Amino acid sequence: MGLAAGLGLLPGGPARAQGPQGPDSLAQQLRRYGRQALAEELFVHTDRPAYAAGETAWLKVYAVDGTFHRPLALSTVAYVELLGPDRRPVLQAKLALREAQAQGQGALALPAGLPTGRYVLRAYTNWMKNAGPDFYFQAPISVVNTWQPLAAGAPTAAPAPAPAGASTADVQFFAEGGQLVQGLPGGVGFKATDGQGRGVAVAGTVADGRGAPVATFQSLRAGMGSFRFTPAPGATYTATVRLPGGQTITRALPAAAPAGYALLLNDDAADAGFLRLAVRARPAPGAPADAGALHLVAHTGQQVTAVATAALAGGEAVFRVEKRQLREGITHFTVFSGRRPVAERLYFRRPAHPLAVQGRTAAASYGPRAAAAVQLQAGRAAAASVAVYRLDSLAAAAPAQDITAYLLLAADLPGYVEDAGYYCRDSSATAQQAADNLMLTQGWRRFRWDDVLAGAGPPPAAFPPEATGYLLQGRISRPDGGPAPGVAAYLSLPGRPFWFDNALSQAGGRIQFEVPNFYGVRKLVLQTNPLRDSLYRVELLSPFTAGGGAPVPGLPPLPARWAPGLAERHLQGQVQQAFAAAAPRFRPVPGDTVAFYGRPNEHYRLDDYTRFPTVEEVMREYVPGVLVRKRKDGFHFLVVDRPNHAVLRENPLTLLDGLPVFDINQIMAFDPLKIKGLDVMASRYFLGPAVYDGVVSYTTYQGDLGGFPLNPRALIEEYEGLQVPREFYAPRYDTEAQQRSRLPDLRNLLYWNPDVRLAAQQPQELAFFTSDQAGRYLVVVQALAPGGQSGSTSFTFEVKPAL
């Protein structure tokens, strides 16, 4: 008989003294580690789960912390990618996250030639790169190219051919708690997938080396299931798995260790309010049977929720856990012997009280081009996003997104979770068992206990958070290709307004610039000083992550009954393109009309003066704060430092539309009639690692450099910064003339609003117009409260054809 130990809950108070080896000490170290390892997560709400090639995918991004899921205003940039079946990017965008709300929005225009298939929408921040691609947001997106219809029932992607008689299916087995131990009852979880990575229903038998059966099993949901058996000393075990269609495959089970700890979690209906974690120990030869006490640490999102100690009696220790004391989401139970983790088990507690979001349409059905209204209400104030789209065969086949299921479940598991919302929606015993199977086969955590117990904290962050602006990164190399540290680099974004910055290359030759409010495509010039560092090579580094992350299942074969719906979707796309009522509308973006140096000491608008034929005459006649000197190597500028009543000794930082001019002779040869204005900073100016003897900044009329010759070794390219946000456009039918318009309206996306503000317990109405497209429409609402509570709802209405 084991000794039951009541679980001591210590959510945040002082730990009970149990010595340096006790669970309170372990919990304290995890708390300390968690305070140093802030986890950031993103959730992306898309307007639809499936698209036809050529359509636009609209996006709403929510940024939260990984523990309490509260809005986290840490990053100002989200990187969004659409990855193809080969895991290579098809589309990429940088979306601005508003600092106050920790939210952003954007759009991806899907190319008309995009092949049919299952794609991955991936999103992350620069800070999230430290955790790696396994913790990026990713969701499957189905795309059908209606220009390239498939044969009925044909697969949408051709898997690699398998040898004759071989199966493309795969089955993996996972030992509960981390290992099987000889002579001790143990649990095994399994997951079966087909050649496209989709879960398949299987059944099978486990037999020992002599062929004697010891266990049977059958999957419950998405190809996952579990069973228990006791491995005998020295025995090996093989599973024979029956696949759909009668084919069988064999797989070896994980080898059982001769000594160690076996953990079994029981969630019995007879004791519904508690979990029972039984840990059995098999000592190594010569070790005592009862090796003292075991410790249990439970945590969710790196926040410790419970600790306990149980003595080993008869080789067994039992922890009895009250379920209502656990936080919603995934709890990690880790068992320690001393300070050594010996077993771990995950448990999912579905949310009992998510954010209540209710909604309905003002009427159950509408006619074409009719005014429709959605009425929403939330239990507390929340930010929300709303989509209304037609449930044709393509859209109806994909499950709607669920922000709660993602944040509480999918975000903490590696790989793809099929229909994560099921585990939150369904409260049945079957769903709880299915969730437990998921915990057995896709367990994960964001840290290593060795790092926690070492007390050194998380490893240094290689990627800083982009807290105030976009971080543009590059590299400087020597002529032989080796890194060049300690070299000054200069970044210019000519234009109106322009941007300029400098940086000193670090180890590996890496350089970094922070560029706030960088929207749209701009000319970018990155260079070193050609008068001093003419042989160095500069390059820009992509801010996007290459590869990584687990693939999602492929798109299943399209059934023949979809053919009429896909033909209709094709017609919709062509009509919308041919009769587009308006070009894309872009929202105004924040801009700074003041140069990086702020208000200048002197400003000259040259049209206010007599225009001279040379820049030398302009400087000598109009700009007393800058002295012009001519030496053997040509012209030089000397700025008069007025505060100190002195003349600075070196050339100032001289700019033309933000481009640094290193040779004053070049600016003196420039046509002064192209210059609109001139600013002077009449004192030493500190910018990053550099100190300049003043600033002299010229601007042309168009901000386009006016044909000024560029450094031939400079990197010059059209560079895309943050995406300029687009306005979702939908026609209105307020007047009879608009209703009678002969322009066809075949929209299947009626409404998209990424910025809905719901007040607590106060109904809010959103209005839009239906299209000419009859059918059933789905309204999907995702919402997040400031306290981290999330919720979603969906409901339908009909659009009936005109009589």
**CB count, 10 Å around CB of 50?**
22
pLDDT tens per residue across span 46-55? 999 999 999 9
pLDDT at residue 590 tops 80: no
Q: What is the mean pLDDT of residues 96-105?
A: 89
Question: Given pLDDT bands bounded at 50, 70 and 90, which one contains residue 446?
Answer: low
pLDDT at residue 21 tops 60: no
Residue of higher predicted confidence among 264 and 19: 264
The vertex-362 CA angle with 360 and 368, nearest 5°, equals 110
pLDDT at residue 168 tops 90: no
Cα 217 to chain centroid distance, Å, stands at: 37
DSSP string for residues in 515-559: ETT-BSEEEEEEE--TTT-TT-EEEE--SSPPS-SPPPPPPPPPP
Q: In a 10 Å sphere around its CB, with 0-12 CB exposed, 13-18 middle and 19+ buried, how is residue 132 labelled?
A: middle
Q: What is the mean pLDDT of residues 186-212?
A: 93
Question: CB within 8 A of 32, min separation 6: which ones?
Answer: 455, 457
Residue of higher predicted confidence among 132 and 268: 132
3-state DSSP call for residue 164? coil
| Token reading at 647 | 């003349």
pLDDT at 608: 93
Which segment, 27-36, 151-160, 318-327, 522-531, is predicted with the most confidence on average?
A: 522-531
Share of the chain above pLDDT 70, in %: 92
pLDDT at 277: 94
pLDDT at residue 793 tops 70: yes
pLDDT at 661: 96
pLDDT tens per residue across span 687-730? 988 999 999 999 999 999 999 999 999 999 999 999 998 899 89
CB 275 within 8 Å of CB 323: yes
Q: How far apart are CA 671 and CA 685, in angstroms?
A: 27
Q: What is the dihedral of CA 760, 762, 768, 770, to 10 degrees?
A: 100
CB 302 within 8 Å of CB 30: yes
Q: How far apart are CA 84 and CA 93, in angstroms?
A: 15
CB 158 within 8 Å of CB 150: no
Q: What is the mean pLDDT of residues 35-40?
A: 82
Q: How far apart are CA 179 and CA 187, in angstroms?
A: 9
| Phi, psi angle pair for 668, to nearest 5° | -70, -25
pLDDT tens per residue across span 734-773? 999 999 998 889 999 999 999 999 999 999 999 999 999 9
| Phi, psi angle pair for 274, to nearest 5° | -135, 155
Single-letter amino acid, residue 146: T
CB 770 within 8 Å of CB 799: yes
Q: How far apart are CA 247 and CA 322, in angstroms?
A: 44
pLDDT tens per residue across span 154-163? 444 444 444 4
Average pLDDT of the chain is 88
Which of 32-36, 242-246, 413-417 comes out lowest in average pLDDT? 32-36
- C-alpha dist (Å) from residue 667 to 411, 471, 621, 635, 685: 55, 30, 16, 9, 20
pLDDT at residue 220 tops 60: yes
3-state DSSP call for residue 664? helix
Cα 281 to chain centroid distance, Å, stands at: 41
pLDDT at residue 289 tops 80: no
Which of 357-366, 496-505, 553-562, 604-613 comes out lowest in average pLDDT? 553-562
In eight-state DSSP terms, residue 398 is S
Question: CB within 8 A of 260, min separation 6: which ones?
Answer: 179, 181, 281, 282, 342
pLDDT tens per residue across span 389-398? 999 888 888 7
pLDDT at 86: 86
pLDDT at 454: 74
Single-letter amino acid, residue 508: G
pLDDT at 436: 95
pLDDT at residue 16 tops 60: no
Question: Given pLDDT bands bounded at 50, 70 and 90, which one contains residue 471?
Answer: very high
CB 657 within 8 Å of CB 664: no
3-state DSSP call for residue 430? helix
pLDDT at 580: 61
pLDDT at residue 585 tops 80: no
Share of the chain above pLDDT 90, in %: 67
Which segment, 193-202, 316-325, 632-641, is predicted with the most confidence on average?
A: 632-641
Nearest CA to 295 out of 326, 270, 322, 261 is that of: 261
pLDDT at 319: 94
- C-alpha dist (Å) from residue 718 to 477, 492, 537: 22, 12, 18
pLDDT at residue 85 tops 80: yes
In eight-state DSSP terms, residue 199 is B
3-state SS track over 7-71: CECCCCCCCCCCCCCCHHHHHHHHHHHHHHCCCEEEEEEECCCEEECCCEEEEEEEEEECCCCCE
Exposure class string for 616-650: b at 16+ Cβ within 10 A, else e: bebbeebbebbebeeeeeebbbbbbbeeeeeebee
pLDDT at residue 450 tops 50: yes
In eight-state DSSP terms, residue 385 is E
Nearest CA to 199 out of 223, 219, 221 is that of: 223
Question: Given pLDDT bands bounded at 50, 70 and 90, which one contains residue 444?
Answer: low
pLDDT at residue 642 tops 90: no
Q: How far apart are CA 401 and CA 476, in angstroms?
A: 44
pLDDT at residue 582 tops 90: no
168-349: CATH architecture: Sandwich (2.60)
In eight-state DSSP terms, residue 380 is S
The vertex-307 CA angle with 302 and 309, nearest 5°, equals 145
Q: Within a 13 Å sphere around the CA of 792, how many CA atoms are in the beta-carbon half?
A: 22
Each as own residue / partner, the long-range contacts of residues 231-235 (CB below 8 Å, 24 or more positions apart, any chain) are 231/180, 231/181, 231/182, 231/183, 231/184, 231/186, 231/256, 232/182, 232/183, 232/208, 233/182, 233/183, 233/258, 234/182, 235/182, 235/208, 235/209
Which of 464-468, 516-520, 551-555 comes out lowest in average pLDDT? 551-555
pLDDT at residue 7 tops 90: no
Nearest CA to 505 out of 490, 491, 479, 485 is that of: 485
3-state DSSP call for residue 747? coil
pLDDT at 579: 65
pLDDT at 586: 75
pLDDT at 100: 78
pLDDT at 448: 74
Single-letter amino acid, residue 117: G
Nearest CA to 780 out of 498, 402, 457, 348 is that of: 402
**Strands ordered across the beta sheet of 293-300:** 303-311, 293-300, 329-337, 340-349
pLDDT tens per residue across span 104-123? 999 999 999 999 999 999 99
Strands 685-687 and 690-692: antiparallel
CB 536 within 8 Å of CB 490: no
